[in-house]
Amino acid sequence: MSAVLPTPSGHPPKGTHPNALGGKSIPPFAHAYRTADETLFQDLVRAGFRRIVLQTPAGLQRNALELGRTIRERTGADVIHVTRTCFGACDPPAATEVAGAEALVTLGHAPIPNMPLALPTYFVEMRTSEGDVEALARKVAEAGLPARLGVVASIQHLDLVGPLTEALGRRGITLRSGEGDARLAYAAQALGCNYTTAERVADEVDGFLFLGTGLFHPLGLAYAVEKPVWSLDPLQTTLAPPLDRDGMVRRRLLTIARVMDARRWGILVSTFGGQNRMAMAQRLRERARSHQREAEILVFDRLESRDLLARDVEAYVSTACPRIALDDGDLYDRPILTPPEFLSALGERPLTPYQFDTYH
Ligand code: SF4
């Protein structure tokens, strides 16, 4: 089943989810599917593309060649695989990587509504409803969590939010989830750079549940909200204790303190379509100069630690994916701050409350 959402250009998106946020526009050319299902193949055939590019994140590589074969057989189109590491919906292949391509099929990501797309893009979100909802609800209730909880989920497990809300409601626990800003396609959706779905209900809850697997999202959520974050893994039916937010924030404050007197700064800007905040970088450069600091803008696509070796700077501020500074900072030979941390280092904003670098 599909529904058509309004788009700024009037270009009719096909195969978009009926549960996309009410009235929220998605970019022209964006189409979203729960899985690589019949609707996807029919839409590709109808569009009559001659060359399709397939982009697959590391965790889904196993399915890529088979899906590519199926798309080729079903559509008659030439299928080319993009093999460079793909971080999110924010880094679609550049035009030079996919010369001659007429469409992109990308696995494991939801559309970013406010991100322009160069090609018609078919987001196959790889959703699953796997997970025993009653057992998950029992786990939460028996662990004695607060009766007012917020919830966010990775795109793969988003379909479980509704059933889990009902199951917990029967046990006296209220689950709240908010609508995000223009970077998020769905209510309750978590993106590693944007937890506005959680921030918008933070005043009404006493803690948060992250529904999904791994540590990437719970870590980001813990930076973004000043409330305990529990991780509920629907595949393992496990509930992990809250992360040590105070310790995480303390480490960031120490990093800021180390570079408060730095005179020479590099401001990192990514060329990826959904990670490029050049205007912000230019504003930060002006702020730095107004504090008598030197600051230069450094542009990259995929950041490698070796690219920053031997640069004549004392510290960096990254305007690209906020998780570069927060999760991977130790990989680089100089400290890397996020933009709000940089403003704290300049003395323009207080160190606390800690502000997550939400990518809007
Ligand atoms: S900017 Fe970072 S966290 Fe946000 S979608 Fe891209 S890779 Fe994920």
Q: What is the pLDDT of residues 184-212, one digit of tens each?
A: 999 999 999 999 999 999 999 999 999 99
Q: From the CA of 101, how far away is ligand 1's center (Å)?
A: 24
Q: What is the pLDDT of residues 9-54, one digit of tens each?
A: 323 333 344 334 344 555 668 999 999 999 999 999 999 999 999 9
Determine the atom of ligand 1 nearest the C-alpha atom of 324: 2
Q: What is the pLDDT of residue 25?
A: 54
Q: What is the pLDDT of residue 182?
A: 95
Q: From the CA of 322, how far away is ligand 1's center (Å)?
A: 8
Yes or no: say if 339 and 282 are a contact pair by the CB < 8 Å rule.
Answer: no
Q: Is the CB of 108 under 6 A from ligand 1?
A: no
Determine the atom of ligand 1 nearest the C-alpha atom of 109: 5
Q: What is the CATH number of domain 133-243?
A: 3.40.50.11850
What is the pTM (predicted TM-score) of this model? Answer: 0.91
Q: What is the pLDDT of residue 26?
A: 58
Q: What is the pLDDT of residues 43-53, one digit of tens each?
A: 999 999 999 99
> Please, which residues have CB within 8 angstroms of residue 41's CB and are 6 or more apart in sequence?
70, 71, 74, 75
342: region left, alpha or beta (phi > 0 left; psi from -120 to 50 alpha): alpha
Nearest CA to ligand 1 atom 5: 88
CATH classification for the domain delimited by 246-345, as one of 3.40.50.2300, 3.40.720.10, 3.40.50.720, 3.40.50.11860:
3.40.50.11860
Q: From the CA of 90, how far away is ligand 1's center (Å)?
A: 6
In single-letter form, the type of residue at position 20 comes to: A
Question: Which two three-digit tokens encode residue 145?
Answer: 């969590």
**Residue from 186, 184, 187 nearest 176 by CA:** 187
Domains 30-124 and 246-345 agree in fold: yes
C-alpha pair distances (Å), 302 with each of 91, 92, 113, 253, 321: 9, 12, 22, 26, 10
Q: Which sequence spans correspond to the domains of the chain?
A: 30-124, 133-243, 246-345
Which CATH fold topology does 30-124 show?
Answer: Rossmann fold (3.40.50)
- Residue 85 CA from chain centroid, whole number: 15
Q: What is the pLDDT of residue 85?
A: 81
| Lateral strand order in the sheet of 30-33 | 30-33, 121-124, 103-107, 51-55, 78-82
Yes or no: say if 161 and 137 are a contact pair by the CB < 8 Å rule.
Answer: no
Q: From the CA of 91, how far away is ligand 1's center (Å)?
A: 8
Q: What is the pLDDT of residues 305-340, one digit of tens each?
A: 898 988 899 999 999 999 999 999 999 999 999 999
Q: What is the DSSP string of 255-301?
A: HHHHTTT--EEEEEEE-STTT--HHHHHHHHHHHHHTT-EEEEEEES
Q: What is the pLDDT of residue 186?
A: 96
**CB-based burial, 186-199: b 16+ in 10 Å, e otherwise:** bbbbbbbbbbbbbb
Taking the C-alpha atoms of residue 66 and residue 37, their distance in angstroms, rounded to an integer, is 14
Residue 228 DSSP SS3: coil
Which phi and psi angles does 283 have, rounded to 5°?
-65, -40
Q: What is the pLDDT of residue 27?
A: 63
Helix runs in the chain, H state only: 38-47, 61-75, 133-142, 161-169, 196-199, 216-224, 245-258, 278-290, 322-328, 339-345
Q: Is the CB of 13 under 6 A from ligand 1?
A: no
Q: What is the pLDDT of residues 134-173, one digit of tens each?
A: 999 999 999 999 999 999 999 999 999 999 999 999 999 9
Q: What is the pLDDT of residues 200-253, one digit of tens each?
A: 999 999 999 999 999 999 999 999 999 999 999 999 999 999 999 999 999 999
CA dihedral 130→238→210→67, nearest 10 degrees, is -30
Q: What is the pLDDT of residue 29?
A: 87
Q: What is the pLDDT of residue 23?
A: 43
Q: What is the pLDDT of residue 17?
A: 40
Question: Which two three-digit tokens encode residue 126?
Answer: 């790889």
